[in-house]
Amino acid sequence: MIVVTGATGNIGRSLVGRLLEEGVPVRALTRDPARAGLPVRTEVVRADLMADTDLVPLLSGADALFLNLAAGGESAQRLIDAAVEAKVPRLVFNSSLGVTDTPADETNFISRSHASVERAVRASGLEWTFLRAGNYATNALGWAPAVRGNGVVRDPHPGAQGAPIHEADLADAAAVALLDRTGTHVHQVHRLTGPEVLTNAQQVAAIAEAIGRPVRIEQIPEDEAAEAMVGPHLPLAAARELIGLFGRTVDAPAFPVTDTVARVTGHPARPFAQWARDHAADFS
């Protein structure tokens, strides 16, 4: 039985479906089971990882845990400790390509938070696999209201480059690691990207093609973009860090394209154009 945190997010939802296809029982943790909308075979359990004091019962009987910081990053250490106490053998962590295992990990919000959790997982004694990914294709969903509205995406760096990865590829890789019976993926760091480098402008063009109508991109100041990103889990200082990181990819992508998706899952990474077609309804 696999416990999935962030089960109603983009990666988690895909992962739940993938595990069920394999006939594996899934316990999905969510703040609001009534609105989860997960398949009927899923054991959906109410869990507020930021508030629940005893996390051990949530992990009781689990063979593996999928940990995603989006489900409650500040509770990561408590979840790791609970996994140890509940005798969960394996943990697969949705980490970040920003983690380099060097002092550079302390220079920005994303790397810092994920590197800290990686260190805690390594120290736990659990079997672990780290899925380091970046440039999620689903980041483009942030443009959806503008695309549905006036068809103008406002972005500080139209020329920023990355290799966006489809959430289904991350879910497939996570499922392989979670269900690994040979130990092939134990204590392995997998660096995952999409199959091609695209600029933000090229991603917008792919979305336009998928929905069959014009969409254009318009450059805005970095400060304006950072203020728009601020939320409960992303303070302004962190947003500015991220915008600055994106800006540096205008000259070259931050991370090289890897073939890890193909090596881990057995199939090529899905291109962004496919992702845009899969999500055309979100932009229409």
Report the candidate in 8, 112, 6, 132 with the shortest Cα–Cα distance to residue 69: 6
Per-position DSSP letters for the chain, written without gaps between them: -EEETTTTSHHHHHHHHHHHHTT--EEEEES-GGG----TTSEEEE--TTT-S--HHHHTT-SEEEEEGGGTGGGHHHHHHHHHHTT--EEEEEEETT--SSGGGGGSHHHHHHHHHHHHHHHHT-EEEEEEE-SBGGGGGGGHHHHHTTSEEEES-TT-EE--B-HHHHHHHHHHHHH-SSSTTTTEEEEE--SS-EEHHHHHHHHHHHHTS--EEEE--HHHHHHHH-BTTB-HHHHHHHHHHHHHTTTS-SS----HHHHHHSSPPPPHHHHHHHTHHHH-
Superfamily in which the 2-133 domain is placed by CATH? NAD(P)-binding Rossmann-like Domain (3.40.50.720)
Q: Looking at residue 176, what is its pLDDT?
A: 98
Tell me the pLDDT of the chain (284 aa) as tens digits. Answer: 999 999 999 999 999 999 999 999 999 999 899 999 999 999 999 988 877 678 999 999 999 999 998 776 678 999 999 999 999 999 999 999 999 999 989 888 889 999 999 999 999 999 999 999 989 999 999 999 999 999 999 999 999 999 999 999 999 999 999 999 999 999 999 999 999 999 999 999 999 999 999 999 999 999 999 998 898 878 898 889 889 888 989 988 889 999 999 999 999 999 999 999 999 999 99
Q: State the pLDDT at residue 51.
A: 77
